[in-house]
Amino acid sequence: MAKVIFGAWDNAVIDNRRKKVFEIEEYPEFSDFDEFNPGNPIKAFFGGHGFFIFEKNVNLLDAALQYMERVARESCGKCTPCRVGTQIIKSKLELLTRGDGTPEMLDEIASIAEHVHTTSLCGLGQTATVALLEMIRYFRETLEEEIAGATPVVRQHCTTYVSAPCIEACPSKVDVPRYIDYIKDGKFTHSLGVILQKYPMAATCGRVCVRFCEMACRRTQVDEAVGIKVLKRFVADHEQDVTHDWFSSYMIPEKKDPDLKVAVVGTGPAGIAAAYHLLLKGYPVDVYEAKSVPGGMAATGIPEYRLPNDVLNKEISIIETMGGQIFYNRRMGRDFTVKGLFSNGYKAIFLAIGTHKGKMIRAAGEDPHLKGYDFGVDFLLRINHDYIDKGIPMKLGKKMVVVGGGNVAMDCVRSALRMGVKEVHLVYRRSQNEMPADHEEVEAAEKEGVIFHFLTHPTRIVSEEGTIKAVELVKMSLGDPDESGRRSVTPVDGSEFVLDTDHVIPAIGQKVELGFITPDEDGVAFNSWGTIKVKNDSLMTTRKGVFAGGDCVTGPATLVQAMAQGEQGARCIDDYLTFGRVRFFPKDRMSRLVADVQPMIDSGVNIPVKHEYRVKVRELDPDVRKQIFEEVEKPISVEEAYHEAQRCMRCYRVYSVITEQ
**With binding defined as CB under 8 A, does residue 593 bind other proteins?**
no
Residue 162 or 564: the one with the smaller Cβ distance to other proteins is 162
**With binding defined as CB under 8 A, does residue 609 bind other proteins?**
yes
- Counting residues that bind other proteins (by CB under 8 A) gives 56
**With binding defined as CB under 8 A, does residue 76 bind other proteins?**
yes
Site for other proteins in 422-441 (CB under 8 A): none
User: Taking contact as CB under 8 A, which single stretch among the options 176-184, 204-212, 303-311, 448-456 is the one that binds other proteins?
Assistant: 176-184
**With binding defined as CB under 8 A, does residue 111 bind other proteins?**
yes
Identify whether the C-beta of residue 348 lies closer than 8 Å to the C-beta of residue 262.
yes
Shortest CB 250 distance to other proteins, Å: 4
Crossing angle of helices 60-74 and 86-98, rounded to 10°: 150
**With binding defined as CB under 8 A, does residue 241 bind other proteins?**
no
Question: Cβ–Cβ contacts within 10 Å for residue 241, how many?
Answer: 8
Please give the Cα distance from 358 to 375 (Å, whole number).
Answer: 5
Distances (CA, A) of 153 to 102, 106, 145, 202: 14, 16, 12, 46
**With binding defined as CB under 8 A, does residue 518 bind other proteins?**
no
Contacts 24+ apart (CB under 8 A), 324-328: 324/275, 324/279, 324/285, 324/286, 324/287, 325/285, 325/286, 325/287, 326/267, 326/286, 326/287, 326/288, 326/289, 326/294, 327/286, 327/287, 327/288, 327/289, 328/289, 328/291, 328/292, 328/293, 328/294
Choice from 6, 36, 247, 379 touching other proteins (CB under 8 A): 247
**With binding defined as CB under 8 A, does residue 250 bind other proteins?**
yes
Site for other proteins in 35-74 (CB under 8 A): 72-74
Please give the Cα distance from 368 to 373 (Å, whole number).
Answer: 6
**With binding defined as CB under 8 A, does residue 115 bind other proteins?**
yes
Choice from 14, 27, 35, 78 touching other proteins (CB under 8 A): 78
**With binding defined as CB under 8 A, does residue 161 bind other proteins?**
yes
| H runs (alpha helix) in 156-268 | 165-169, 176-184, 188-196, 202-208, 212-216, 228-238, 240-248
Shortest CB 577 distance to other proteins, Å: 22
Shortest CB 616 distance to other proteins, Å: 18
**With binding defined as CB under 8 A, does residue 301 bind other proteins?**
no
Shortest CB 580 distance to other proteins, Å: 25
Crossing angle of helices 176-184 and 638-646, rounded to 10°: 120
Shortest CB 604 distance to other proteins, Å: 12
φ/ψ of 487, rounded to 5, equals -80, 135
Task: Please give the helix or strand (H or E) that residue 386 lies within, else none.
Answer: none
**With binding defined as CB under 8 A, does residue 183 bind other proteins?**
no
User: Taking contact as CB under 8 A, which single stretch among the options 24-32, 36-44, 75-83, 204-212 is the one that binds other proteins?
Assistant: 75-83
Residue 179 or 373: the one with the smaller Cβ distance to other proteins is 179
What are the residues facing 364 on neighbouring strands? 460
Residue 196 or 299: the one with the smaller Cβ distance to other proteins is 196
Helix, strand, coil percent content, the chain, rounded in steps of 5: 40, 20, 40
**With binding defined as CB under 8 A, does residue 601 bind other proteins?**
no
Identify whether the C-beta of residue 219 lies closer than 8 Å to the C-beta of residue 225.
yes
**With binding defined as CB under 8 A, does residue 236 bind other proteins?**
no
**With binding defined as CB under 8 A, does residue 118 bind other proteins?**
yes
Residues 6+ apart with CB under 8 A from 51: 7, 8, 9, 44, 45, 131, 134, 135
Identify whether the C-beta of residue 501 lies closer than 8 Å to the C-beta of residue 403.
no
CA angle 250, 251, 255 (to 5 degrees): 140
**With binding defined as CB under 8 A, does residue 119 bind other proteins?**
yes
Q: What single letter denotes the amino acid at residue 374?
A: D
Question: Cβ–Cβ contacts within 10 Å for residue 114, how many?
Answer: 15
Residue 327 or 642: the one with the smaller Cβ distance to other proteins is 642
Q: What letter does residue 84 receive in the DSSP assignment?
A: I
Residue 11 or 467: the one with the smaller Cβ distance to other proteins is 11
User: Which residue from 47, 273, 261 is spatially nearest to 168, judged by alpha carbons?
Assistant: 47
Identify whether the C-beta of residue 178 lies closer than 8 Å to the C-beta of residue 166.
no
Shortest CB 379 distance to other proteins, Å: 38
**With binding defined as CB under 8 A, does residue 175 bind other proteins?**
yes
**With binding defined as CB under 8 A, does residue 80 bind other proteins?**
yes
Choice from 16, 142, 197, 317 touching other proteins (CB under 8 A): 197
Choice from 120, 510, 554, 565 touching other proteins (CB under 8 A): 120
**With binding defined as CB under 8 A, does residue 585 bind other proteins?**
no
Binding site for other proteins (CB under 8 A): 72-81, 83-85, 87-88, 91, 111-112, 115, 118-121, 160-162, 175, 178, 182, 184-187, 189-190, 193-194, 196-197, 242, 245-247, 249-251, 587, 606-611, 638-639, 642
